[in-house]
Amino acid sequence: MRPFSASALAPSFDAPAAEVAPARNRVRFLAIGILAVLMLLTGRAVQLAFSGDPIARQQRAAQHVIRADLVDRNGVLLATTVRAYALTAAPANVRDPEATANALIALLPRLNREDTMRRLTDASRRSIFLTRGLTPEERAAVEALNLRGIGFETQDKRVYPNGTLAAHALGFTDVDLNPLAGAERGLDEAIREASQAGHPLALSLDIRMQYALETELEASARAMGATGAAAILLDGRSGETLALASWPAFDPNEAGRSGEAARRDRVSGDVHELGSTIKPFTVAMALEAQMTSGAEVFDFSQPFAIDGNVIRDHEPAVHGLAGLREIMTHSSNIGAARLALRLGADRQRDYLGRLGLLAPSPLQTGRNQAPLAPAPRSRRDVAGVGFGYGLATTPAALAGAYTIFANNGALVAPTLLHSESGEAPERIPVFSAPVTRQVLSYMRAAVVSGTGRAADVPGLAIAGKTGTAEKLGEDAEYDDSRNFSSFAGVFPAQDPRYVIVVSLDDVGAGEAGGVAAAPVVARTLRRIAPMLGMNVTRD
């Protein structure tokens, strides 16, 4: 049915025929005819634009520029566009729907008989899709049947040859090649420009490291009973993302068949409170602001009360007098809270902003969740942020902040693009080099003799911090039976270059970052160290 009636929109005339000159009649009839044709064309254009008509969809798809291939930093193909065909039918021209359906299903078993029959007998449609994604060979086989009313539409298809591998980093497109997620969306303009220039777009990913990180993350998530997991590996000096993993996984070739939970990118799309992974920054802030020094001794013998709330340390080894190193190695909430209060809300928030923790990560994944970072309203809020509560952000943003330890205190933005020129990225100073090195030594101690021991690899020095944040329950109270466990670190500690963040969501009570996330780091580093060409030395 056409959306408009040409006769209804055309003007009417009541002049007697005998009183109208023949020439005028011809002009008038010609005008009416032209107007009617214009109305018909306009109506059909509107109908096509908003219908599922294959011809309309094909015309819209033809307006898109063919997308460039995506390759990893070593030239391995990650995404490409292939020529494919959609099988169509004009129901009015199909003489024998049942015989036609039988012949097609014999060649294309993926066709559903009931659905195919319904489509072939749908007299209300001029043209209709039967299936998509036919290969040239399948098209030739169908053509050989010489079935009346059966046709084809050229429909390019985006293909991801590695299946689920790097799915969240790559993202996917719709059937018309419109980008919907991941690098496909976040780097859409660059992909189109590369296509016009006639070359593939090189991503920063290394598919070998991607495979190692994904498999280790999945194994741990399944073993720990996690509902989700995320991990990211950066070259901290260039900001290039070498691997980005989110679990559960999905196949971008069949994204529509995957559930929302599987398609969700937990690296840049999920925010969580940071737990103790923020403590290196709290210590660095206090040192940079000259609110403390490495020689100061703190009293951890008693819980710390603030605004009616009691802050305790979970690590039984923390008691009595200790310094900044012990705040890190034993993950002292009391020590971090005291340092945060010395800083005050304004100075603390200024540093958090400079670390990129108060804004969405710039990583080009198509969807970067903004942090939950309410302005502190009390001393309790300031203290809470100091040891990891009251600020929720993404693993991507946390990894970006940790790049300061690979750049003598300067921040580098993470990216999914590979720079073949090796041009130095912008570096934004946050902390001084001496303060950064001092905190780095505490982070190394946290791995050697503290909560991060499970992340250590003999012969490979990693410096980092575990984190465990209790999750909020439905009653808006923290639930100690549900934890978000993480580890964030840099390596090699003596000359940091790489950043790694691993997090597991909704692990059970007592499953801290040192138990749940740190082992993923160790197993991954054992596998990727040779790929990085690192000279592994013992401390």
Q: Which residues are catalytic?
A: 276
What pairs with residue 487 in β-bridges?
Answer: 466, 502
- The reply to whether omega before 11 is within 30° of 0 (cis) is no
User: Strand 150-154 vs strand 201-202: parallel, antiparallel, or unpaired?
Assistant: unpaired
Can you tell me which residue has the tokens 């000279």? 535
Q: What phi and psi, each to the nearest 5 degrees, are found at residue 483?
A: -120, 150
**Closest by CA position to 275, among listed 511, 47, 535:** 511
For residue 320, the Cα-to-chain-centroid distance in whole angstroms is 44
The DSSP call for residue 263 is: H
Quote the radius of gyration of the chain (alpha carbons, Å).
Answer: 31
Q: How far apart are CA 526 and CA 534, in angstroms?
A: 11
390/322 Cα distance (integer angstroms): 26
CB-count burial class (<10 Å; 0-12, 13-18, 19+) for 465:
buried
Cβ contacts of 375 within 8 Å, gap of 6 or more = 345, 349
- Contact status, residue 154 vs residue 133, Cβ threshold 8 Å: no
Q: How would you classify the pairing of strands 298-299 and 321-322?
A: antiparallel
